[in-house]
Amino acid sequence: EVQLVESGGGLVQPGGSLRLSCAASGFTFSSYWMSWVRQAPGKGLEWVANIKKDGSEKYYVDSVKGRFTISRDNAKNSLYLQVISLRAEDTAVYYCARDFTVASYDYWGQGTLVTVSS
């Protein structure tokens, strides 16, 4: 059974940082592109970043470029999102998702909530 389990969210002050993690199981992690998608409270979905199977290519939405870094450790079946210089508008549930075909995601984690507030 495919499982994606996020962790690392929490309350952080503006300007602060966090490292989100996603533990994958039930599939060959190194065979898939992976993505982070976020959802602000009561709002819609927003693609944040994705990373190629071997980590050699990474892409970001413009609003997080230079502040967020996606990475993976295929030996640990884990996906990460390092977030710095956090802003109130980064407050959201952050989902880890497995890329299925171009711009589609067939498995999602339960999400981890990041709240940016003083």
Partner 1 sequence: QSALTQPPSASGSPGQSVAISCTGTSSDVGGYNYVSWYQQHPGKAPKLMIYEVSKRPSGVPDRFSGSKSGNTASLTVSGLQAEDEADYYCSSYAGSNVFGTGTKVTVL
Whether the CB-CB separation of 28 and 95 falls below 8 Å is answered with no
| Residues shown for the chain | 118
74 binds partner 1 (CB under 8 A): no
Binding range to partner 1, per CB under 8 A, among 11-19, 25-33, 55-63, 65-73 = 55-63
Nearest to 1 by CA among 21, 35, 23, 25: 25
> Could you say which of 45, 52, 69, 77 contacts partner 1 (CB under 8 A)?
45
> Could you say which of 5, 23, 61, 113 contacts partner 1 (CB under 8 A)?
61
Q: How far is the CB of 62 from partner 1 (least distance, A)?
A: 7
**Does residue 89 sit in helix, strand or coil?**
helix
75 binds partner 1 (CB under 8 A): no
**Does residue 30 sit in helix, strand or coil?**
helix
Whether the CB-CB separation of 105 and 35 falls below 8 Å is answered with yes
100 binds partner 1 (CB under 8 A): yes
Chain contacts with partner 1 (rule: CB under 8 A)? 35, 37, 44-47, 50, 59, 61-62, 95, 100-106, 108-111
